[in-house]
A and B are shown apart, each in its own frame.
Chain A
Amino acid sequence: MSVVQNNSEKNKWYLVGILGGMGITMRHLLKNLFNKKQMETLNYPEEKYEYSPRFKGNHVLTVKKDGALRCTACMLCATNCPAECIKITAAEHSDPRVEKYPISYEIDILRCVFCGFCEEACPVDAIRMGPEWQTPGVNGTNFIYDINKLAYRPNLKGGIQTHVDDEERHKSGI
């Protein structure tokens, strides 16, 4: 490692520089102490920054009024996904008006690039990108999210309802 020795006259005045720097630190300390509201930093785990409602975080599968999945397993999200992280298995529903529904819907969240193309491709508002962005996990966490996690995780409190309502659609003759 080469160390460049700088022995110029200017260097002897280092103490002034240090005191100047300390002064700036003290100024911020006093300002933050007496004027807490304008403090720029957050006490992270307790306080959280509020993101825009359009933030694209973890996926949410929406539900219908009766709590069943809105998803029709059309596979458009899986087709549109550039990271190929969505895997759907479709099955025949006993109700002829529903006809097709997913028996398994898996997102490999480690592979996901959070581009939001799935949300855009969905014709029935069944998948949305939610506000959650912290998805830590200890060793052994399953990062392949299934229906249970995507639609019914505890902080969704029983699922998020879609704007599209099937019965209303049928009534209006669409």
Chain B
Amino acid sequence: MPKCTINGKEVEVKAGSTIIEAMYQEKESIAHYCYHPGLSVAGVCRLCMVEIEGNPRVQIACNTVVTEGMKVNNTSAKVKDAVKWGLDFHLINHPLDCPICDQAGECGLQDQYMEFGKYDPEMAERKQKKHKVVDLGPTVVLDSERCILCSRCVRFTDEVSKTHELGLFNRGDRTEIGTVEGKQLDNKYSLNTVDICPVGALTSKDFRFRQRVWYLKDAETICPGCSTGCSTKVYFNKEGMFRVKPVYNESVNGHWMCDEGRATYKFINREHRLLKAKKGKSGQWSEVAPGAAAKELSGILKGTNADSLGLVLTAQYSVEEYEAIVSTFVNTFKSKKVFFWVNNKESFESFDGLLLRGDKNPNTKGLLKILDKYGLTATWGDLKSGIEKGELKTLVVAGPENQAVFPDLGEKITELSKVPKLIWLQAGKNEQLEALTGDVTLIPLKTYVEKDGTFVNHQGLEQKFKRVTTVVSEALTLDQAAQLMSGQEIKITTADTFIESNRRPDEVMLEHRKKNEFVFKRGTL
């Protein structure tokens, strides 16, 4: 364990670690572009300069291994000057695109310029013209002019996704990033290249031009896309959710996440959500408040014979919610008919070697644990025969939150809708559900960003997540629904709600003005 001194602080680091790792460990700030803790060292940006005592020149921190008694410093005037001129070289051909660049606001170049730069440009030559808006693949767009050739994305496709699609082409100031001939940047982890791009060269097609980043708030949560349960950050504002990015978590996902998981913000947004509870009888629908609908059900469910009452659960809810609803069924309704709806059965155990798992539910382990705890062993076959024989008359279904990962959804709806009374709890809209003609009640639920809870991932790791915001304030969580159905009173707070649309709450509309005119009788005051 070599000891070294960094900016006057004595530090002990692991043998073989580089200076920049020691800096990370001590949370010292250091300018860098090409170095990324999850990738190999390239040493091309020449920005992480440090002064080492006894060494006449400044050295790069990312490729210099710490030795015993090394005295390192990156705050001296010499280092700052080196970084400043390094930055000047990066900016020689970098266009002044900041106003239309998606990275503006979270850009490495902007940050370093404000810290080390602030000079008048001394280049008299014209900027090198390169390709703009290059379509790299189905998810990513490249702007070669903005690229500073740090090669992070190239190293990512070589080392992490191992798909080898990207490369550096040409020489000198004509160097460009591009895809290898005949290939597209089309892999399941392609959007990580956008995350690690320190400038706005690689942008995500999904997020491009939709929001400026300074309008977005972020909060950490757990990805519900599959049973890996990556740590993520969701970015949102009052207009809705906009993107998902990975957060470093050593024991689960490292620095990365898959492209599928980045789509998990879409079903949260209001336009995809069920806003009111709906009661339908022979095709006639009426809307009620979700709480009232659940409360009304408590009387009906309590009056039902325990043998004719069943519960279907998908593995998309938190442990706390399963606990609440299963205990309600077992203890209050005395029904042991709790069924586990397994989606894509064939690929359930598959794993692609990096992060993606075939089990597209965040909490399969958690649900199995609760079912074990209450000794529930009913199988899907029991459910099928129960429906066919007509034993099951009332069925409560906690439907999928992320409907995209349930390929059997349509099939299951037809199967389950054969019971005389169907109660379907779900966050999102579904046309097939709303086209049912039987006795159906739809109750909107909250999504994973709107509640606190715990997911148990495939390793059995319990991960807690916190409420981020509220999108549909009236919707219930599954445990609130369970409490209401068992006849308990609950208190629902409607604090921190989204504004209905993009309209300001105090925007003056025509109706208001007309009303004012009526009140004040303009001209006769």
Contacts and interface: CB of A to CB of B under 8 A. Distances in A.
Interface of A: 72-76, 79, 84, 87, 90-92, 96-97, 99-100, 108, 110-111, 123-124, 139-140, 143, 172-174
Contacts of B210: 90
Mostly helix, strand, loop or mixed at chain A's interface?
A: loop
Grouping DSSP codes into helix (H, G, I), strand (E, B) and loop, the B interface class, with mixed when no group exceeds half, is loop
Given A79-B214, A100-B209, A173-B126, A72 B133 contact: no
23 contacts: A72-B99, A72-B100, A73-B100, A74-B99, A74-B100, A74-B212, A75-B212, A76-B99, A79-B212, A87-B502, A91-B209, A96-B132, A99-B100, A99-B133, A100-B100, A123-B99, A124-B99, A139-B517, A172-B126, A173-B126, A173-B129, A174-B96, A174-B127
Nearest to A170: B129
B514 A139 contact: yes
A140 B99 contact: no
Contacts of B209: 73, 90-92, 100
Interface string B492-525: 0000000000101001101001100100000000
Nearest to B105: A79
A90 B203 CA distance: 15
Given A111-B508, A139-B517, 13 more contacts: A72-B100, A74-B212, A76-B99, A92-B208, A108-B507, A110-B508, A111-B507, A139-B514, A143-B508, A172-B126, A173-B127, A173-B129, A174-B127
A100 B513 CA distance: 36
A52 B214 CA distance: 36
Contacts of A110: 508
Interface in B164-214: 208-210, 212, 214
Contacts of A72: 99-100
Interface residues of B, number: 22
Interface of B: 96, 99-100, 126-127, 129, 132-133, 208-210, 212, 214-215, 502, 504, 507-508, 510, 513-514, 517
A139 B514 CA distance: 7
Contacts of B513: 139
A79 B212 CA distance: 10
A143 B507 CA distance: 11
A111 B502 CA distance: 16
A166 to B, nearest CB: 12
B132 A99 contact: yes
A84 B517 CA distance: 25
B133 A140 contact: no
Nearest to A144: B507
A75 B99 CA distance: 8
B375 to A, nearest CB: 55
Nearest to B133: A96
B504 A84 contact: yes
Contacts of B100: 72-74, 99-100
A100 B210 CA distance: 11
Nearest to A75: B212
A97 B132 contact: yes
A115 B267 CA distance: 40
Contacts of A92: 208-209
A73 B104 CA distance: 13
Contacts of A91: 209
A145 to B, nearest CB: 14
Contacts of B504: 84
A70 to B, nearest CB: 12
A102 B132 CA distance: 19
